[in-house]
Structure 1
């Protein structure tokens, strides 16, 4: 019987460890393209070297169509003035990596750049594809001080796991390209494996309410990571964007403590695009009653000066919260309460969004930073969860079944 108790304790500790959101870097081969293609002159005077599928091999990558090997500098701005690949007409690169059968999802962080400053306002776009989904990313001006931008994308959506997964990146031709030389440059890829959360910790009804679990930051990136809205979001899926458990409205910037002011914790979300820019959580309420939402509004310390307004919406109910920003990293805590009269089967969107456009002194789009989102039922010990709580009960049943079998076996 003593052995059974020890085994149960071990299973309990394992379940707690498994229930937390875990993530780690998945190694890609030659992710920054610093290992040059074979059979090229590395000291060539031109920053662009056209590759040939018959004579050139990109270490770690397959390619087809028109692809150039690019060296940063002069008119081409890349992180650390390193190397990248320009994808021209029908240009495509791909790499297959092994599924570790531990990660529930893979989030890709990458850098997108135009081929010159004159191309910054042209339609520079790429398509990122995972096992079954894809998304087009278009370079947009005024989203950072540099002429390159960092994005993130969740590659996987609950597909049946296979032993290998293929990542594919290809150019997207504009319908009316003003400059035929303005093709996209891809650089600095970072792949992160993430596990879905299994249970709620503490009394917070929001999973990932502090935005601590999301895409990994590139070593050379000081501009944050741009996250864009995903089409056809499934409210019952644990993944709506690269920011775990949260859907994105418009475009937001995922920021870290090392380069910005975050009101609480190491990471936060800046609402930058307006019309709207925000995040949304899909909640189910396990019982009726009064709900309290606590959150923080601040500025990222990026000289974003102005009057901020964040609209919080729960279902059809809306509240406006205003803050005057001095651009130096100020923040303020806010709270609201409402009565939840929803049934347990209702999926209720809870969003935090900004509809105004603000710019820094460098003419970069900016806006309010939100962080420290906390939701709690007024009744002691009770809480509500997001769409993931629908799956929680089956996980608890399995865990209890394991405990019962263990007791019977060692009794």
Structure 2
């Protein structure tokens, strides 16, 4: 009886421990606890377990904010420390999760002197051979050189290992990317109500670091089989940005999507419809109050129907509402949104930006004449 009670307590403790790791930084996820001096050669970490809670392999450097590399000043976005991954180097950490649940990894990264940098994010051991993704980081979307990236997966086992690996091979190993602030968040499958669109308010999504002002990039579907934006497919060649109301202008609620790269940045969702029935798709279009100015157009598609919604952005926030009425011609209708034009911030950073999309709703209509 005593053993059974003790086992129950241990199971509860393990379950609570797993839950505690699902919404926020991983242990030492900001790399503020670093190696001992005896475990470093200059900035190079010489022991695979020198960084608390992490295991490293290959050429890994422990970087302090303000450190210089030639004429380049290395900036750390949060805290005082980060790591740099050289050729074929990686960092990994074991985490307890709940089997069968969906999760999203969020981490911040910056490229240094290499031009074609990529990062391989993976989870193991997982039964799916494709539970990894190559995320290109050569395109800079923020003004300070750092971007946050997200990647989603479904846990096949309660004990997993999260790995971030630099697959690049440069002549200079010190040209690898910087990594900071690694977090994990549980994703809950969205439920349908009167709105036929899942997660149309975008409230369910990847972890957003509370002290960063550049949002989170969500990679294209071809880079991520389990989208960190539940219900939605990133149906394009470029990423979209997940933004929060703490740092951006959001039309409704606390989260929204910024379409960054013209027609190369699109999101879609396939919904069940009844042939011949009339539906109305409504949504909000605006700007994020992030110095993204100019004439913008969001194109909305529902099967063979489409509408273009112009928005003249002053870069200071604001939005307008739009709708698209259509008759379903199939039992499955693809709903898609994209930005017609490329837009750049007016802060001389050359950073891509675009219109904001939020509050997407789809309802069936009994009497469409009343809408006219």
Name the TM tier (shorter chain): 0.7 to 0.9
Which residue of the partner structure matches residue 394 of structure 1?
Answer: none
Which residue of the partner structure matches residue 45 of structure 2?
Answer: 51
- Work out whether residues 122 and 182 of structure 1, in 8 Å CA contact, stay in contact via their aligned partners in 2: no
Deviation of 1:194 after TM superposition, in Å, equals 1.8
Is 2:61 aligned against 1:68? yes
Q: Hey, what's the Cα distance between the residues in 2 that align with 1:298 and 1:25?
A: 29
Which residue of the partner structure matches residue 232 of structure 2?
Answer: 246
Which residue of the partner structure matches residue 14 of structure 1?
Answer: none
Paired residue total: 333
Unpaired runs of 5+ in structure 2? 1-20, 68-72, 368-372
Which residue of the partner structure matches residue 9 of structure 1?
Answer: none
The verdict on how the C-alpha distance between 1:178 and 1:286 changes in structure 2, with shifts beyond 3 A counting, is farther
Which residue of the partner structure matches residue 317 of structure 1?
Answer: 305
Residue deviations 1:92-147 (CA, integer Å, cap 9, x gap): 1111111234x7211011001123xxx2x612221100234111122234411111
Deviation of 1:27 after TM superposition, in Å, equals 5.9
Q: Hey, what's the Cα distance between the residues in 1 that align with 2:144 and 2:365?
A: 46
Partner SS, residue 32 of structure 2: coil
- Work out whether residues 39 and 46 of structure 2, in 8 Å CA contact, stay in contact via their aligned partners in 1: no
Is 2:89 aligned against 1:91? yes
Unpaired runs of 5+ in structure 1? 1-22, 381-411
Which residue of the partner structure matches residue 193 of structure 1?
Answer: 186
Deviation of 1:286 after TM superposition, in Å, equals 4.8
Q: Hey, what's the Cα distance between the residues in 2 that align with 1:232 and 1:123?
A: 17
**Larger radius of gyration between Structure 1 and Structure 2:** 1
Partner SS, residue 145 of structure 2: coil
Q: Hey, what's the Cα distance between the residues in 1 that align with 2:290 and 2:258?
A: 11
The TM-score, its normalising length taken from structure 2, stands at 0.83
- Work out whether residues 88 and 171 of structure 1, in 8 Å CA contact, stay in contact via their aligned partners in 2: yes
Deviation of 1:251 after TM superposition, in Å, equals 1.6
Moved more, 257-266 or 241-250: 241-250
The verdict on how the C-alpha distance between 1:178 and 1:375 changes in structure 2, with shifts beyond 3 A counting, is farther
Q: Hey, what's the Cα distance between the residues in 2 that align with 1:90 and 1:152?
A: 21
Is 2:150 aligned against 1:152? yes
Match of 2:365 among 375, 378, 393: 378
Deviation of 1:330 after TM superposition, in Å, equals 1.9
Q: Hey, what's the Cα distance between the residues in 2 that align with 1:337 and 1:204?
A: 15
Which residue of the partner structure matches residue 14 of structure 2?
Answer: none
Match of 1:169 among 164, 168, 177: 164
Deviation of 1:57 after TM superposition, in Å, equals 2.0
Q: Hey, what's the Cα distance between the residues in 1 that align with 2:273 and 2:262?
A: 29
Match of 2:218 among 224, 227, 233: 227
Match of 1:351 among 320, 336, 348: 336
The TM-score, its normalising length taken from structure 1, stands at 0.75
- Work out whether residues 87 and 173 of structure 2, in 8 Å CA contact, stay in contact via their aligned partners in 1: no
Partner SS, residue 221 of structure 2: coil
Is 2:174 aligned against 1:181? yes
Give the 5 Å matches for 1:268-347. 268-286=256-274, 288-343=276-331, 346=332
Q: Hey, what's the Cα distance between the residues in 1 that align with 2:173 and 2:60?
A: 14
More strand by share: 2
Deviation of 1:322 after TM superposition, in Å, equals 1.3
The verdict on how the C-alpha distance between 1:142 and 1:194 changes in structure 2, with shifts beyond 3 A counting, is closer
Residue deviations 1:238-277 (CA, integer Å, cap 9, x gap): x4x2111111132211111111101111111111112321
Residue deviations 1:149-193 (CA, integer Å, cap 9, x gap): 11111032xx6x32211111111215xx47553101111011001
